[in-house]
Amino acid sequence: MGLTMIEKILAKHSTNDGAKAGEIIDMFVDLRVTRDISGSNVLQQLQEKKLTVADSSKTFFTFDCNTPNIEPEITESQSLQRTYARENGIRLFDVHSGIGSHLMIDQGLAVPGCTMVSGDIHVNLIGAIGALGQGMGEKDITAALTKGKVWFRVPKTIKITLSGQLPVRYSGKDLALYLLSIFGSNKLLGYSVELDGEVIENLSLDGRISLASMATEMGAITFLMKPNQEILDYCSYKSKREFEVLLPDDDAEYEEELHINIQNIELMIARPGRPFELVPLEKLKNTGIDSAFIGTCTNGRIEDLRIAAGILKGRKIATGVILKIVPSTDEIWTQALQEGLIDIFKEAGAIVADAGCGGSSSGRAISNSLGDVTISTGNRNFPGQTGRGDVYLSSPAVVAASAIAGFITHPDNIPDQHQTLFSFPKKEVVHNEEPNLPIEANKPTILEGKVWYIPFDNIDTDMIYHSQYTQLSDIKEIGNMTFSHLSGYEDFASKVSPGDIVVTGNNFGLGGSRQQAVDCFKTLGIQAIIARSFAVVYERNAINAGLPIIVSAQINHLGLQTGDIIKIDLNTGEICNSRNNKTVMGEKFSGIQMEIYQRGGLL
């Protein structure tokens, strides 16, 4: 039986004889990348463990979120990273450069068939050129920098063949949202996805990047696409070197093969706080907006800016509406300037910011207040991620059209003139008391504790530990922010006790790669987390931190209530509810997971 595309890539980058689905291998990493919002934590681990970078030529520091930054702590963090890069011969892409994952492609550093890890959860967008990128936590990044490799579980592959043709003005983002409306956040969870068919063959590099960057929102490891001749020519020109294109074998074994005809594709919009809850634009038309945003790693390419400029040319943004535009790289910013796109944006009344990921969770280009409504080309809109208002997700054409109208509208249905001004009541902000809880460091294989039963699916990392607190380093402060953005559990940190066990639903920990979303539980003394399934990067971060996590598809059969006492056997996976003596099975610890747990963490 032949190999899938990801198996081919991993086999080439593994010290093992092969790389079949289900195997855990050591993956050699071609490109090892940090970013500004987590780089200082990586440096701290390097210094504390007295570790050195294995190969500076394969290591890159990128500053792409806090551009520009306005906080002294961020300035100091960036300064430390600049100094380390200079002293160790590491190439640094500074605040003016743009988004790291885009730079890796446009600078010819990422080529088809290569591997890359980064603190950016959306670095899997290099699947657009047939390469494997993985967002990982700080311990993984540190390991990659010092060892040149990380452990990796070879995923199963689903092949999706897309037939038909995208209508005029439909972009890769519209295709991504359409697929998200089909698969949601769970159906592709943990899979590598090969995208094939005439739709992909005809998709531009920019369209492919938009589509590939949304794999994370669908729970997939990556969306891998065979590079067509246009992609190969681009990568050859940019890299100035030869590379091996790794394609699936004709007899590759897939978990499932799906065929989707996109002839009925609609313009879709994601509802606020629910990037995986898509509805046709028609159901939301005339929804008033306060602001609009075009950018992030999903939609800051030159093709996106051209689409927006074509709609904005000769028009004005509605009174009371702010449109912010952030090109993904400085090269694209310059190209937009040379093509006259920046003039069009400024004439229309838009704000054009420095290149970067300004619309991401820690970015400075987009932020809204309670009651505000924003329409954005971002890849996610979790509550509180870019402010306290509502954020709808759509494509560049819809965002530009809506900014002109002052309400959500179709690009073919823009009114001649419209003015909109509206306000909403503000709600009181509630601050929780800081807990004073000890940290336990026992490593038994039989755990027993009181349950916190939180029967929700898709609890994301902003609900667990919001991005606005990523600069905190004090242990008590980190713990105090746990679940601060999870409705109904904002006071969790003040009520939890050391030794408690969290039990929850599917896809726990989707979203960002921040380590604090794991460390906050360790700080509070949480013994373990049981879930029906975990998001891929969250699972890695928890295992690497030595926090026991257990997957159990049967956990609902225990009849759990908050306050129940349960017992967990990490060696067998057995979970027992002491109140009713019901027992179910979870996944027992693998050898690697047990080793890391007993060692107290990956590093």
Q: How far is CA 135 from CA 158, 266, 301, in A?
A: 20, 30, 21
**∠ CA(80), CA(31), CA(326), 5° rounding?**
70
- 334-366 per-position pLDDT tens digit: 999 999 999 999 999 999 998 988 655 544 556
DSSP secondary structure code for residue 1 in this structure: -
Nearest to 386 by CA among 511, 269, 509: 511
Count of CB atoms within 10 A of residue 469's CB? 18
Whether residue 200 is found in the same domain as residue 326:
no
Query: Are 64 and 193 in a shared domain?
Result: yes
Q: Same domain, yes or no, for 54 and 190?
A: yes
- 272 shares a domain with 260: no
Does any domain span residue 419? no
Q: Which stretch of 43-52, 394-403, 466-475 has the lowest confidence by average pLDDT?
A: 466-475
Task: Report the C-alpha gap between 522 and 544 in whole angstroms.
Answer: 12
279, 260: one domain: no
Residue 411 lies in a domain: no
Q: Is residue 496 part of a domain?
A: yes
- Answer whether residue 429 is part of any domain: no
Q: Which residue has the higher pLDDT, 245 or 15?
A: 245
* Residues 475-522 pLDDT 10s: 778 999 999 999 999 999 999 999 999 999 999 999 888 899 999 999
Q: Which of 405, 432, 455 is the last residue of a domain?
A: 405
Residue ending a domain, among 213, 231, 264, is 264
Q: Where does a domain end: 264, 297, 326?
A: 264
Going from the C-alpha of 522 to that of each of 237, 388, 518, 527, 551, the distances in angstroms are 48, 28, 7, 8, 18
The answer to whether residues 277 and 254 belong to one domain is no
Spatial separation of the C-alpha atoms in residues 439 and 524, rounded to whole Å: 6
Q: What residues pair up with 258 in beta bridges, in sequence order?
A: 160
Residues 224 and 312 in one domain: no
- With respect to residue 97, please indicate whether it lies within any of the assigned structural domains: yes
Q: Is residue 457 part of a domain?
A: yes
Same domain as 321, residue 217:
no
Q: Are residues 257 and 294 in the same domain?
A: no
Residues 17 and 119 in one domain: yes
Question: Within a domain: residue 133?
Answer: yes
Please report whether residue 90 resides in a domain. Answer: yes
User: 387: domain CATH number?
Assistant: 3.30.499.10
Residue 419 confidence (pLDDT) = 45
Q: Do both 471 and 386 map to the same domain?
A: no
Tracing tokens 């927006």 back to the chain, one arrives at 308
* Same domain, yes or no: 185 and 319: no
| 16 and 24 Cβ atoms separated by less than 8 Å | no
Convert the pLDDT of each residue in 56-98 to its tens digit: 999 999 988 776 666 667 778 888 888 999 999 999 999 889 9
> What 3-state DSSP class applies to 427?
coil
Count of structural domains within the chain: 3
Asked if residue 101 lies in contact with residue 126, where contact means CB atoms within 8 angstroms, the answer is yes
Classified as helix, coil or strand, 126 is: helix
Rounded (10°) angle between helices 138-147 and 536-544? 70
Distance CA(185)–CA(551), nearest Å, equals 17
Computed over every residue of the chain, the mean pLDDT equals 90
Q: Which residues span the domain enclosing 489?
A: 446-599
- Assigned token pair, 289: 């907006």
**Domain CATH number, residue 524:** 3.20.19.10
